Amino acid sequence: MRLRHAAVAAFGALTLVLTIPTSASAAIGEFQYTYVGLDGSAKVGFLLDPPSQECITLPEVADPGASSPAHSPRNRTTSTATVFTEPDCEGDYFTLRPLTGRGSERLKLRSVVFS
């Protein structure tokens, strides 16, 4: 009888854990982009497991008056990435598919949001 109660309690606890919503979700994986460094050479920046539903202005290209926009994004996350031409997710935008989405050197960006 005790074994049955223990099994029911364990099953109930597992069910409860699976139904509790998790805290802020994240896009799992890496988002990569290329930007021009202070020395004038091409550098690769990345966001690892970025938060979802939150605008991220890329720090290396945040100031339009002081830097060129980033380019050549690679979305290797599990979420859709929407890239924007301006900081704070403003300006023109383009959507990149999860895991395989990519843009050429012509796709300029300064911020991104993940679904």
Strands (E), the chain: 29-36, 42-48, 56-57, 70-77, 81-86, 90-96, 101-102, 108-109, 111-114
28-87: pLDDT as tens digits: 999 999 999 989 999 999 999 999 999 999 999 999 999 999 999 999 999 999 999 999
Write out pLDDT tens, residues 95-113: 999 999 999 999 999 999 9
